[in-house]
Amino acid sequence: MRPLRLLALAAVVWALAVQAAPVPAGRTGQVVSVSERDFAAARLGRLGLDALMEKDGRVYLVVSADECAELARRGVPFADETQRLALAAVERVGAGGGVNGAFHSPYEMETDLRLLEEAHPDLARLSEIGRSLEGRPLYALKISDNATVDEHEPAVLFAGCHHAREWISVEVPFLFGKYLLERYASDATVRALVDASEIWIVPIANPDGLQYTIDVYRYWRKNRRANVDGTYGVDINRNYGYAWGFDDQGSSPHPGSDVYRGTAAFSEPETAAVRDLVQAHDIRAMISFHSFGQDILYAWGFTSEPAPSDAELGAIGRTMAGLIEAVNGTVYVPGQASRALYVTNGDLIDWAYSLAGAPSYTIELPPVDIDHGGFFNDETAIAAVFEENRPAMLYLVRYAIDHPLLRRPLSPVRRERSVLSQTRKPKLVLRQP
């Protein structure tokens, strides 16, 4: 076994061993599971716990020492799953070198984006759209036939890594950009799409959090905001402006929660950068990639009421699901986010859709559950996950070109508690996108 391989294994084992040990108050530390019945009876869904998934009658949570104590105080029996998941994670460490293997760090992504721009100067333009809290650049790669010229063409955005631990969400949008640039000269379909549109790739919306998952703690989710109570992080996918803070079920007002929404809409520089990019262009469609779960989700997330163009959103989602399944047989389930998964508010997709009704989707990438890897994708699966998503991404670009947006921005919603969200039981409760 090569030294880099040994180093990667040792680093992952160490990081997960730390998770299993007692941790300081307020820090996320271990993975536990509780029964669905106990989860519901103790009303744990109201605590803003970091939920991974629901499987075989049990709910899996990443918890801190304080949260473990709260479970005990409420008399909720739980099983420590950390060691089992640690062993599964070690089995998935590949030979790409370093702790993150073939997955990109923020610096590695910057290098590869610059190489793409240099190799395709007429088709690619790399822009710094903002800076993170820790000063890391936030990059957007524009792909078009005249990339350095603003031709006011229909635009489509593909974004990744709002949540730091979702490493596969970085790779799919990046590989799509690489595919378009490398196939432009030889593939008539690709050339037609690139000539008629602007395709924007933002592979890492949360570079500080991503670097933290590599250096310190693999399960970290939020950005690295230093909160007033001594905790860290805002969930930037609860920090967008439409229905921000609508209720405390779709996001949390508590800084220690992994779905903490921040002090105000767009309080975080990461979301402000994406906002400014979207508002500066004619964005007609969007995909925000996440993991894990194999879902295709669309507005609304903040309420179970259907969106104004629910039928259109559903039809596009079903088409994309069919195109994905045709590649490798992988089933992605389309549906309205609040009904198919659970309630969210202040997320990118609701906000983007609210601007002009642009078809906007969260795609939860494989695997389907923890036992198949969870956030620890096998790096050898990166290419396969991209390949199965590629036809759906191409289709959405074509759809955006062919369908102008004629709708006005939707009216803002007031912050209030959603009666529907309190009474509805979602099909799947967890796996926060």
Over 70: is that where the pLDDT of 4 sits?
no
CA neighbor of 274 nearest in space, from 408, 143, 138, 405: 138
Please indicate, yes or no, whether residues 80 and 127 belong to a single structural domain of this protein. Answer: no
Same domain, 79 and 49: yes
Which pLDDT value is given to residue 414?
A: 62
Tell me which range, 51-60, 74-83, 282-291, is most confidently predicted by mean pLDDT.
Answer: 282-291
Domain count, the chain: 2
pLDDT at 307: 95
Does the residue 305 lie in any domain?
yes
| pLDDT tens per residue, range 281-324 | 999 999 999 998 899 999 999 999 999 999 999 999 999 999 99
219 lies in the same domain as 338: yes
Range in 82-91, 99-108, 147-156 with the lowest mean pLDDT:
82-91
Q: Is the pLDDT of residue 90 over 60?
A: no
**DSSP 3-state assignment of 421?**
helix
CA dihedral (6, 11, 17, 19) in degrees, to 10, reads: -150
* Alpha carbons 70 and 17: distance in angstroms, whole number: 22
pLDDT at 8 over 50: no
84 and 163 part of one domain: no
Report how far apart, in Å, the C-alpha atoms of 134 and of each of 131, 203, 251, 341 are.
Answer: 8, 18, 24, 32
Q: Range with the lowest mean pLDDT among 355-364, 376-385, 392-401?
A: 376-385
Question: Per-residue pLDDT averaged across 33-54, rounded?
Answer: 77
By CB atoms closer than 10 A (0-12, 13-18, 19+), residue 116 is buried
> Does 327 lie in the same domain as 193?
yes
Residue range(s) defining the domain that contains residue 294: 106-423
Last residue of a domain, one of 68, 91, 114: 91
Q: Select which of 117, 198, 364, 388 is catalytic.
A: 364
pLDDT of residue 69: 85
Beta strand 198-202 with 155-159 is: parallel
Question: With contact defined as beta carbons under 8 Å apart, do 221 and 165 qualify?
Answer: yes
How far is residue 304's CA from residue 110's CA, in Å, rounded to a whole number? 39
Q: How far apart are CA 122 and CA 211, in angstroms?
A: 31
Phi–psi pair at 365, nearest 5 degrees: -80, 165
Last residue of a domain, one of 91, 123, 140: 91
Per the annotation, the verdict on 416 as an active-site residue is no
Residue 58: predicted pLDDT? 86
| Statement: residue 408 has pLDDT above 80 | no
Domain boundary, last residue among 38, 62, 91: 91
Rounded Cα gap, residues 413 and 272, in angstroms:
20
Tell which wins on pLDDT, 325 or 61. 325
Confidence (pLDDT) at 26: 38
Question: What mean pLDDT value characterizes the chain?
Answer: 85
Written as six digits, the tokens of 164 are 């730091």
pLDDT at residue 49 in the model: 72
For position 23, what pLDDT does the model report? 35
Structure tokens at 12: 């992952």
Domain presence at residue 314: yes
In a domain, 153, yes or no: yes
Q: For 220-251, write each residue's pLDDT tens digit.
A: 999 999 999 999 999 999 999 999 999 998 99
Same domain, 151 and 194: yes
For residue range 245-268, list pLDDT tens digits in order: 999 989 999 998 889 999 999 999
Residues 311 and 337 in one domain: yes
Q: Which CATH number goes with the domain that contains 33?
A: 3.30.70
Q: Alpha-carbon distance 312 to 306, whole Å?
A: 11
Stretch 382-404: mean pLDDT, rounded? 97
Reported as a single tens digit per residue, the pLDDT across 172-230 is: 999 999 999 999 999 999 999 999 999 999 999 999 999 999 998 888 999 999 999 99
Is 21 exposed, middle or buried (CB count within 10 Å of its CB: 0-12, 13-18, 19+)? exposed
Whole-angstrom distance, CA of residue 382 vs CA of residue 48 = 31
Considering the domain boundaries, does residue 172 fall inside one?
Answer: yes
Residue 139 confidence class, pLDDT cut points 50, 70, 90? very high
Q: Are residues 28 and 115 in the same domain?
A: no
Q: CA-based Rg of the chain, rounded to a whole angstrom? A: 21
Residue 30 has a pLDDT of 78
Residue 66 has a pLDDT of 80
Q: Which residue has the higher pLDDT, 106 or 63?
A: 106
Higher pLDDT, 167 or 81: 167
Residue 89 has pLDDT above 70, yes or no: no
Sequence letter at residue 423 = T
pLDDT reading at 373 higher than 70: no
Is there a single domain that holds both residue 200 and residue 143? yes
Report the alpha-carbon distance of residue 328 to residue 173 in Å, rounded.
Answer: 19
pLDDT of residue 47: 67
Q: Are residues 17 and 143 in the same domain?
A: no
Please give the pLDDT value at position 420.
Answer: 34
Identify the pLDDT of residue 22. 35
With H, G, I as helix, E, B as strand and everything else as coil, classify residue 118.
Answer: helix
pLDDT > 70 in the chain, percent = 82
CB atoms within 10 A of CB 201: 25
CATH classification of the domain holding 356: 3.40.630.10
Q: Name the pLDDT band for 432 (thresholds 50, 70, 90).
A: very low
Q: Is residue 99 part of a domain?
A: no
pTM: 0.81
Rounded Cα distance between 347 and 238, Å, is: 5
Confidence label for 29 from pLDDT (cuts 50, 70 and 90): low
Residues 206 and 78 in one domain: no
Query: Do the domain assignments include residue 98?
Result: no
433 is a domain residue: no
Q: In this structure, how many other beta carbons lie within 10 angstroms of the beta carbon of residue 210?
A: 31
Q: Is residue 387 part of a domain?
A: yes
Alpha-carbon distance of 421 to 67, in angstroms, equals: 24
Same-domain check for residues 225 and 256:
yes
Average pLDDT over residues 352-381: 86
